[in-house]
Amino acid sequence: MATVTFDHATRLYPGTERPAVDQLNLHIEDGEFLVLVGPSGCGKSTSLRMLAGLEDVNGGRILIGDRDVTDVQPKDRDIAMVFQNYALYPHMSVADNMGFALKIAGTPKAEIRQRVEEAAKILDLTEYLDRKPKALSGGQRQRVAMGRAIVRQPQVFLMDEPLSNLDAKLRVQTRTQIASLQRRLGVTTVYVTHDQTEALTMGDRIAVLNKGVLQQVGTPREMYDQPANVFVAGFIGSPAMNIGTFQVKDGAALVGNAQVPLERTVVDALTEADGGKVTVGFRPESLDVVGSGTAGSFQVEVNLVEELGSDAFVYGSLKSDVGASDLSAGDSDQVIVRIDPREVPMKGDTINVAIKPGQSHVFSAATGNRLS
Amino acid sequence: MSRDVTEPAVVPAGVTSTPAPTARRGLGGRAAKARRRLSNPWASGIAICLAVLWSIPTLGLLVTSFRPELDIRRSGWWTVFGDAAAGEGVFTFRNYETALFGSSTSLADYFINSVVITLPSVLIPISVALLAAYAFAWIDFPGRDWLFIVVFALQIIPIQVTMIPLLTTYVNVGINGSFWPVWLSHSIFALPLAIFLLHNFMKDIPPSLVEAARVDGAGHVKIFFRVVMPLLVPAIAAFGIFQFLWVWNDLLVSLVFAGGTPNVAPLTVRVAEMAGSRGGDWHILSAGAFISMIVPLIVFLSLQRYFVRGLLAGSVKG
């Protein structure tokens, strides 16, 4: 068991201008489950591979415990890694796959057998120990890959999108299994995923990366409630947060026909670079459907209603007298509103919504950083 | 694997007029279609004709080698079948006895020479090429790609050009007249292709497999022996068979580097000599030729599974 520290760790691929990972500073506590999340190409896998020793570190240091492992070979780092495609040795049985690292390390045969059997019991693989990987299903292969890591009893587990090759149902099931297994074993774990749902459900803390730069680190709740900038706000949460840039007038943002009051501190924090504008974000569930004419409410024209049973989401466009606005949520340029699934408006209706007090997120229009 | 995209490509022009229910027929339909297309009676007929045509000389050689000397001179090998039907066919092992153990031919000694030449000439290039291919595939050293191109480009040099300089070198070093010149020459000539082939097979191994082994604590030596080698067995077998057949059947290299010294010359050299000096002794010649053919025949027939699989494995995954 150990802590993991990235100290200004940088990776610059030869022949590229921009570092794949730029000055990453991150401290992971002993026994913590940290999820690295971000869109594809954000440097999360590269960070993990740097920790594994599979990528060179061009600047800064990486420490496991108090030991500087920046230039240490992967085999001497005492880590175990679960790969996206599992990387099982096709010519070895499940038992040999799981015991390979111990065999390399020269552990006595009896002990290997015992540890493999223990791990197989935990993962429900006992009856498959003599099979070859090709005779296993996707979920079983995934468990063998996990088993290979567990048997090692390493200081750190590294997992590189281990669930992305499973079907949706198995993924949800395995997600909880991995999380509870990690809590039980108490091994420091770094987990890479592009799926923010996985990140929110599994991690003790989440680190969001974008374009090689760390955006924010925090618990799932913090990430959801207090996103540090526009990128994190838009990335975390499903459906995505509604985010738009609006004019500021008399200490309030003009959202459609409504005036959303801003706090004093926010208005004071505006600079010239913002050009009298501010970026406001609010989650679909932060909106209340209200009667028309309510103060601070704005109109949304319903384009589509998505019913999920427990919830219903309205996808609509903002109606505004002051010209088109750029309010959007995620990839769609529509406003998403969560509504009571028993009172669903028709397509083409117009509903009045208001932001619940204290549930709006205000960011600088120029820098994208949080103001409120 | 989008079926709908590949489908139109395999439908010939004449069939496109039929409305396409192809998507609905699914995998079973596709398999049946492939079978129909591949089992064209004309194509099968032509293939059988070719196979028969190509086998007739060998068959003739086989039959001839079992006939008495007098019969060989008097009539063609095909008359045997008529004679045998009439109960007059005569077969004998005399030819083989003379060829193998006769004082003037003694192919048995040359047979052993052939074995002694062939085995190291197969093992040396495979071992060296495996190590080189591993380095080219998985160790990142400066100038790697250039060196690889250079090694592969060595294929361009015709082996005939290298013979005189090589022979001079062997004589200067003083190993001329032993098996070493033949072993070394065969290894030298085989290496570029061996490295290239094995490198391609090694590159097909998923990188994450090697990375997993590295994280599991294996160094290059252990990765090579425990992970890469077992996965390359089909490729090694394929190249091994290829090289074995090439070396066993080779005349040029062994004639140049061992032709002058009968105690290291292989079968092929001796049989070629017999064809020249004993052009008349068909009975011994046919037996000798068949003795030199029998080993590659057995090797190929028993291992052709690996051979075909090895050739295909590089192109088709899974």
CB contact under 8 A, A54 and B227: no
Judged against a pLDDT cut of 90, whether residue A109 lies above it is answered with yes
Structure tokens at A29: 């506590």
CB contact under 8 A, A91 and B215: no
Mean pLDDT of A279-295: 87
The beta-carbon neighbor of B214 closest among A74, A91, A148 is: A74
Q: Is residue A252 part of a domain?
A: yes
Verify that A207 and A282 share a domain, yes or no. Answer: no
Mean pLDDT of A147-159: 92
Structure tokens at A329: 């949520």
How many residues would you count in chain B? 318
Query: Which residues pair with residue A4 across a beta bridge?
Result: A28, A64
Q: Give the pLDDT of residue B18.
A: 41
* Regions of chain B where pLDDT drops below 50: 1-24, 313-318
Nearest to A158 by CA among A137, A187, A124, A184: A187
State which of A190, A206, A234 marks the end of a domain.
A234
| Cα B58 to Cα B42: distance, rounded to the nearest angstrom | 25
The residue ranking higher by pLDDT, B213 or A325, is: B213
Q: Is residue A371 part of a domain?
A: no
Phi, psi dihedrals of residue A350, rounded to the nearest 5°: -120, 130
Tell me how crowded residue A331 is: count the other CB atoms within 10 A of its CB: 8
Sorting pLDDT into bands at 50, 70 and 90, what band is A337? very high
CB contact under 8 A, B218 and A85: no
Verify that A248 and A226 share a domain, yes or no. Answer: no
Nearest CA to CA, how far is A74 from chain B (Å)?
5
Judged against a pLDDT cut of 50, whether residue A219 lies above it is answered with yes
Q: Does A148 touch chain B (CB under 8 A)?
A: yes
Please give the full DSSP string across A304-319, using - where no structure is assigned: EEEE-SS-EEEEEEEE
Q: Give the pLDDT of residue B308.
A: 66
CA angle A346, A349, A351 (to 5 degrees): 110
Query: Which residues have CB under 8 Å from A324's CB, separation 6+?
Result: none
Verify that A156 and A208 share a domain, yes or no. Answer: yes
Q: Give the pLDDT of residue B318.
A: 36
User: Residue A96 maps to which CATH number?
Assistant: 3.40.50.300
Question: Is residue B230 within 8 Å of residue B201, measured between CB atoms?
Answer: no
Please determine, for the modelled complex, whether the ipTM score is greater than 0.85: no
State which of A213, A234, A255 marks the end of a domain.
A234
Mean pLDDT of chain A: 89
Q: Is residue A370 part of a domain?
A: no
Domain boundaries, position A91:
4-234
Mutate to test the interface with A, among B216, B222, B233, B317 (most CBs of A within 10 A): B216
Q: Give the pLDDT of residue B280.
A: 67
Burial of A77 (0-12, 13-18, 19+ CB in 10 A): buried
Domains of chain B, each with CATH number or no CATH: 41-92 (no CATH), 101-313 (1.10.3720.10)
| Cα A1 to Cα A4: distance, rounded to the nearest angstrom | 10
Verify that A42 and A185 share a domain, yes or no. Answer: yes
CB contact under 8 A, B209 and A89: yes
Nearest to A87 by CA among A37, A145, A139: A145
Nearest CA to CA, how far is A63 from chain B (Å)?
17
Q: Give the pLDDT of residue B279.
A: 65
Verify that A230 and A332 share a domain, yes or no. Answer: no
Verify that A101 and A224 share a domain, yes or no. Answer: yes
Verify that A207 and A338 share a domain, yes or no. Answer: no
Verify that A244 and A230 share a domain, yes or no. Answer: no
Total count of domains within chain A: 2
Nearest CA to CA, how far is B213 from chain A (Å)?
8
Structure tokens at A228: 């540090």
Structure tokens at A295: 């103060």
Phi, psi dihedrals of residue B143, rounded to the nearest 5°: 75, 15
User: Residue A330 maps to which CATH number?
Assistant: 2.40.50.140
Mean pLDDT of A192-203: 91
Phi, psi dihedrals of residue B116, rounded to the nearest 5°: -65, -35
SS3 A209: strand
CA angle B31, B37, B38 (to 5 degrees): 90
A32-83 residue pLDDT tens: 999 999 998 899 999 999 999 999 999 999 999 999 999 999 988 999 999 9
Q: Give the pLDDT of residue A227.
A: 93
Q: Give the pLDDT of residue B13.
A: 39
Verify that A226 and A268 share a domain, yes or no. Answer: no
